[in-house]
Amino acid sequence: MRDQIPVPSLRLPRIYKYVKQTAKNRVQTYPIWPANLFQLELEGAGVYQDFSGPALLELEERGELEKITYGGLPYMASSDTARPDSAILEPTGVVYDFLTGEDDASGYIAELALYVALSKIEGELSDGVIDDIGPTGSYYRRFRGLPNPVDGLLEINGELFPIEVYNGLDYINESHSKLDQVANYSSDGDPALNPILVTRLSGKKAKDRVRKQMNGTIIDTRRIFACEPVRPNLEDAVNALNLQGQFELIPWLTTEEGLGLEGRRYHELAENREHFEKIVPSRVAAAAEDLSNDYIERVRGGVYLLYVNTLYRQAPERLGRQASLMLQSCFHKLMRNPGVDRASLLDIGWEDARERYNRIMPADDRRQRDVQDRTRSLLENLRDKNIVYRDGDSLYARKAKHPHASLDPPTAQGVTERTI
């Protein structure tokens, strides 16, 4: 029951104290501070919204912090009579205007960044991993009569993955309109459609829902994208609100032929059959040099996992399916802990797969050897595909990070006293 969950101050007292001290520092410096953007700031310290939200509520209920609404937005305040300060109101307005504006600027730029990253990754991999990349609107053109266009389309190892992109403030967990939207693109028909949600940050319940109910996945980018030349005042606003670590401000992204792209221009070209050739993947891949390595590595990790997951669905017999499940366990381990000895990786993968899929995995030693031998062959296949590489006896996922943000209990690690 919900009322059995300890309040934040009892559940994680050290982290609760950190949230309390940081919040009080904000409202002592300025009369009011935007509550939702404060929660976004805390994520940079490893304190996620499923903890910071209840913690702020507890502070309010204890009378240690006030909550007021100004201009339709929630603010923290030192008292219920606190007056707004333009030094905070103005940057708050700039950030919200970008994220919630009717011009869809925030969504468009994130869709462009993803398309460019995928275009770069396609050129790195062997044939048979990424078969095709569709930009915004391609889903509708390819499958008329199905739901509205999504933000992109991937074909990996012969399977189709419609993409939905979210570039906003929300921490997506158990229920969110984006999850319902993604569910609309899931289909067991012919062709089967396994959706991808690319978002800033999501929780375990959201990931489980997309994986178990839709055969899809979530990629956590850990950033909000914006095009700095289009929003020249956004950088100052982000700095004023201590959100530097949560935004990635990028220039116009330039194609191989010198064509400059920002979100809206990308949309116009993607939706125009006459001009689409200007932004085919081979021409836009060069623009990835203006995206952060961290972002590309997370997207690359997502592509790798999607490919690995297709192997189970396509395995023709029981041994192949067992080895594919074991490969999934091995690969998740490899993404979290690069440089694992191959023999150790096979042992770890076996134990994890036996624990997760005990009704499917065999129990006898002889069968274990058969499954491990087949998994070893699948790992070699990943080397051939340029997904995995070997250095001595250790295996690595090539230039990739796990796409699922590790949402362990809040830590508030790596935060200096200055930020408190």
Residues 122 and 204 in one domain: yes
Residues 279 and 196 in one domain: yes
Domain membership of residue 342 (yes or no) is: yes
Residues 340 and 194 in one domain: no
Residues 246 and 329 in one domain: no
Per-residue pLDDT of the chain (420 residues; tens, 9 = 90+): 445 789 999 999 999 999 999 999 999 999 999 999 999 999 989 899 989 999 999 999 999 999 999 999 999 998 888 888 999 999 999 999 999 877 677 899 999 999 999 999 999 998 889 999 988 876 544 554 445 678 999 999 999 999 999 999 999 987 888 998 888 888 777 677 899 999 999 999 999 999 888 888 999 999 999 999 999 999 999 999 999 999 999 999 999 999 999 999 999 998 887 888 999 999 999 999 999 999 999 999 999 999 999 999 999 999 999 999 999 999 999 999 889 999 999 999 999 998 888 888 877 778 889 999 999 999 999 999 999 999 998 999 999 999 998 755 666 654 433 343
Show which of 54, 84, 114 is a domain's final residue.
84
Residues 120 and 246 in one domain: yes
Residues 14 and 113 in one domain: no
- Pull the structure tokens for residue 63: 């009378």
Give the C-alpha separation, 73 to 28, whole Å: 19
Give the C-alpha separation, 220 to 198, whole Å: 6
Residues 126 and 275 in one domain: yes
Domain membership of residue 403 (yes or no) is: no
For residue 144, the domain's CATH number is 3.40.1350
- pLDDT for 175 equals 82
- pLDDT for 415 equals 45
Domain membership of residue 7 (yes or no) is: yes
- Pull the structure tokens for residue 286: 């060069």
The DSSP code sequence of 253-318 is EE-TT--EE-HHHHHHHHT-TTTGGGG-HHHHGGGGGGS-HHHHHHHHHHHHHHHHHHHHHH--SH
Show which of 39, 54, 84 is a domain's final residue.
84
Respond yes or no on whether the N-terminal peptide bond of residue 74 is cis (omega within 30° of 0): no
- Pull the structure tokens for residue 357: 């899929």
Domain membership of residue 157 (yes or no) is: yes
Residues 284 and 163 in one domain: yes
Give the C-alpha separation, 255 to 253, whole Å: 7
Phi–psi pair at 52, nearest 5 degrees: -65, -35
Domain membership of residue 307 (yes or no) is: no
- pLDDT for 188 equals 75
Contact 308, 327 (CB under 8 A): yes
Q: In sequence order, what are the beta bridge partners of 134?
A: 153
Q: Residue 196: give the domain boundaries.
A: 105-291
Residues 194 and 331 in one domain: no
Residues 109 and 71 in one domain: no
Angle between helices 105-124 and 293-314 (to 10 degrees): 70
Q: Would you state the torsion angle of the CA atoms of residues 126, 130, 135, 139, taken in this order, to the nearest 10 degrees? A: 160
Domain membership of residue 297 (yes or no) is: no
- pLDDT for 139 equals 54
- pLDDT for 417 equals 35
Residues 80 and 111 in one domain: no
**Neighbour tally for 189: CB within 10 Å:** 8
Residues 357 and 319 in one domain: yes
Domain membership of residue 95 (yes or no) is: no
